[in-house]
Amino acid sequence: MDAVYLDNNATTRVAPAVVDAMLPFFGDQFGNPSSRHAFGSGVSGALKAARRQVQALIGAEHDHEVIFTSGGTESNSTAILSALETMPGRNEIITTAVEHPAILALCAHLEQQRGIRVHRIPVDGLGRLDIGAYRAALSNRVAIASVMWANNETGTLFPVAELAEYARQAGVLFHTDAVQAVGKVPIDLRSTAIDMLSLSGHKLHGPKGIGVLYVRRGTPFCPLLRGGQQERGRRAGTENTPAIVGLGKAAELALGHLGEMGGRVRFLRDRLEGALLQRIPDARVTGDLDRRMPNTAHMTFADVDAEGIVALLDRQGIACSTGSACASGSMQPSHVLLAMGFSASASHGALRFSLSRDSTERDIDRVIATLPGIVARLRDLPPVGRAAGATPKRINPAFA
């Protein structure tokens, strides 16, 4: 039985063409791109080509606005810390209550250790940002507003172009964590006021350990890593040539597949949701159904623990993920769902299916045929650990 992988928001399979593009740079083309001899100049040309491929995918005006990093987390940290360094007298940050931990953890650290004030803008029950609260938080005390392009759990898209324009009018830098959006929805940075954008290679069928920070020309910038003059002095350290070339190829492929993401992949996502809603009682799709990524189906199932669903699906060769994160050995409710007004118990019943261009109708048919029986089986188990006023928990047969 073939495995079904529907956890592409966590990571994607490296495309075979990406692997092929990378391989020469582990062998004959091993030179340091900073070297002035032939071994270096050939590699340097490959880096320039990769930079242009990323530029085309995100609609940057200049290829030198693309800075290669180790991934989305480094890009996010660089953007925020740079803004605090280059915007003197400003000690406030605006972000949202549903950002990725790569943003929220940094903001919490800056709040606790440096006394930075952090505005965490709330969302409604569909995960939509409170635009009024965002605009009210903008002031000449704010160094940067950092708002994700697409939520990694629900797939909800935020109106980042509109938010960036409000920030520009207030004299505030605007950054977006677009790790989940790049390669899935069209992006044209030339038509926006976005100052900085983060992306990660392994989310779009590229290798792990490589990412990009886009910095619009003219944006004040302070490097996170200092040393050599790589990346025009904006990110020191010998370039990871194989990964950069792989990311460039992945960007080129993603640009060519954007239509498929908005067409065939969206159709498969909708078919999966529709069938599960028909066959599983007390199921619902979460997030903003009108503005969301085409590949993400985030659903909750009442009176069942999603961890049990994931484990039993895994036994059937089907991979997906929950809406909860494991912390300190215990299951913590998803901060995204809590911010949307879900109870802790409802959050534990959340499941995310994230498709890619590799996903097939057969994959969707397998889930539709398998999941209803698993949910019914879990719901039929006797409740355990009942406490006064608490929602009953059910035995998880996967771990019993």
Question: What average pLDDT does range 7-27 have in this prediction?
Answer: 96
List, by residue number, the catalytic residues: 326
**Bridge partners of residue 120, in order along the sequence:** 95
What would the CATH number be for the domain defined by 258-394?
3.90.1150.10
Range 16-256 classified under CATH 3.40.640.10: yes
Q: Where are the domains of the chain?
A: 16-256, 258-394
Phi, psi for residue 67 in degrees, rounded to 5? -110, 125
d(CA 338, CA 248) in angstroms, rounded, equals 37
Q: Residue 314: is its pLDDT beyond 90? A: yes
Tens-place pLDDT, residues 43-81: 889 999 999 999 999 999 999 999 999 999 999 999 999
Tens-place pLDDT, residues 361-382: 999 999 999 999 999 999 988 7
**DSSP string of 121-155?**
E-B-TTS-B-HHHHHHH-STTEEEEE--SB-TTT-
Q: Residue 328: is its pLDDT beyond 60? A: no
Return the H-helix or E-strand segment holding 202: none
pLDDT at site 325: 47
Question: What average pLDDT does range 199-225 have in this prediction?
Answer: 97
* Sheet with 321-322: strands ordered across: 283-285, 296-301, 350-354, 321-322
Q: Predicted confidence band at 101 (pLDDT cuts at 50, 70, 90)? A: very high
**DSSP string of 21-47?**
HHGGGGTT----TT-SSHHHHHHHHHH
